[in-house]
Amino acid sequence: MGTDTKFLDVSKNGWYSYYRRIPRQIRELPEFKDHKTFFKRSFKTKDRAVAELEVRKLNRWFDDLLGKTVKPKTTSETIRKVRDELRLRNLLPMKIDTSDIAQVRRYADAMDQYDHWINGADVDVSEEFMQEFKIKFEAEQLRQKLEQKYDDGKGGYKDADPYDEEVIKHRILSGEFQTEPEPTFEDAVEFYVAWYRENKATNDQQKEHWIKQIYSISGRLSKYFEGGMKAALNSLTRELVSEAAEEIWPNSNTRYTNMNGRMVPVISTWNQYKPTHKVEPNPFTNLVGQRALEQDTKTRRSATPEECKRYWDNVVALDNPEMKMIGLMLFYAGCPQGETAGLLRGDLKLKQNVPHLIIRNNPYRRLGKKRLERVIPLTGEILDHWRDYIDNHFTGGRDDPLFPRYIKSTSSDKAKVLTPCIENLAGGDDKLTAYSLRHSFKDRYIAAGVPEGVGQYLFGHVTEASSQVHKDYGGLTRPEQFSDHMAKITNIGHFGYQEQYDD
């Protein structure tokens, strides 16, 4: 597990060690013959101060080895520095859009003017000509300076130092070197964050929660990259990323979620909008095999009827009226917590012939791609709880959120309240969480004999059958079409399958 000191790791038991990727240029040295791509050494201490001293010693040892083998890379900062200086002086070579015929012609005319002028002809100079002249003049002056700088004193020249800023400048001016610096891991992350903020149709709090995850995951990974967040994007290999991810997230499900669910989109978005700097293959894809996922996966089971009753009683007893209603709807109709938390007062119809609520998109919350807008009749005890909530706890108007404290909360905020309400009474190793109540809703509608398409509709799953029900039953305008079905589901007492034993 990483610490805030680069290359310093600490185990769950508090033991400190050194963990660092071995740079490619020194990986073949005999000092690393017993290592592959990462160097690890235990400090055999739980004392942070002692560990910090040992880290400094090993850092100096690494620096000495690196200094004897190769000069530092030409960093993005160096290239940016040179490029920015040239830009301020208006000396960056022209970037020609070859699809713009007028621009291509102006540039070609400027080159012709320059050739005629250099050969002594009188020409009417254009702005493009002056730009080309200034660049070539600067490049020539710099060439003469470099000739003197690298004169070997024997009528020849020494090899130019590729890390020399003046050499870099000359290569840029001569068109031999790209004017944009090599993109970094940080560039890709920041580009994705900016794109996500602009294009994703979620509320601001959900956006910031997602972005915080991206920064956290990329920051932890970067400690294993040479150069950290400034590591060249094209230096990230699947081997490197895989080893780092396995060290940081030993559980394969967590690793799969963070890599495929979070980091793959970062690189995919970069590749889509930055085709000249594509990273292929995406180093974050397919890092976790199916077998590893199966080994680390605990099956989430449905709750038993007894567990559902205990859950209901525990939620009813909550002293948090907003989470009480969110938690009750999770059992009553299998409504995800976020869907209920996003309801507006206008979505709740308590004075209709058939009391009901409507799950639909609104300015505060959008349903997921596989979620269905639907109407849910309210019958039985849940109706009394809704009336009590409106009469005694809600103070807003028709267009206001029903649950203002939770309209922009994260799923973990709500789970902290509801998770203690679900108790594992049946035992076993399978996973039981508040989300298991959604699985139980399917068991309940099957046991109640509700048609599969209607059950999927009430459940909110977009399927061919549920979409047809939505169309045939009048969409959101006919709650009476579903009231008998919902009453059957509410009154069912035995559902699901739980294995029983004779002893």
Residue 16's CB is within 10 A of a number of other CB atoms, namely 22
Q: Show the tokens assigned to 111.
A: 């080159």
Check if the beta carbon of residue 147 is closer than 8 Å to that of residue 160: no
For the record, the structure tokens of 340 come out as: 């209920």
At 426, give phi and psi (nearest 5°).
-90, -15
> pLDDT of 365-406, one tens digit each?
777 667 788 999 999 999 999 999 999 999 989 999 999 988
Per residue in 373-392, is it b (16+ CB within 10 Å) or e — as a string?
Answer: ebbbbbbeebbebbeebeee
What is the pTM for the complete model shown? 0.52
pLDDT at 65 over 60: yes
What pLDDT score does 162 carry? Answer: 67
Residue 99 has pLDDT above 60, yes or no: no
In b/e form, how buried is each residue of 349-370, taking b as 16+ CB within 10 angstroms?
beeeebbbbbbbebebbbbeee
Residue type, 303: A
CA 425 to chain centre: 36
Helix or strand run (H / E) with residue 374: strand 374-377
The pLDDT of residue 178: 53
Name the residue type at position 329.
Answer: M
For the cut 70, the answer to whether the pLDDT of residue 136 exceeds it is: yes
Average pLDDT over residues 233-245: 83
Better-predicted residue by pLDDT, 167 or 360: 360
Question: Would strands 348-349 and 38-42 be described as parallel, antiparallel, or unpaired?
Answer: unpaired
- Tens digits of residue pLDDT in 408-458: 777 778 888 998 999 988 887 777 888 788 888 889 999 999 999 989 888
Indicate the residue type of 73.
K
Integer distance in angstroms from the first to the last C-alpha of the chain?
A: 45
How far apart CA 477 and CA 234 sit, in angstroms, is 55
d(CA 403, CA 356): 17
Residue tagged 């499900």 (tokens): 253
What pLDDT digit, counting tens, does each position of 296-327 carry? 555 678 889 999 999 999 999 999 999 999 99
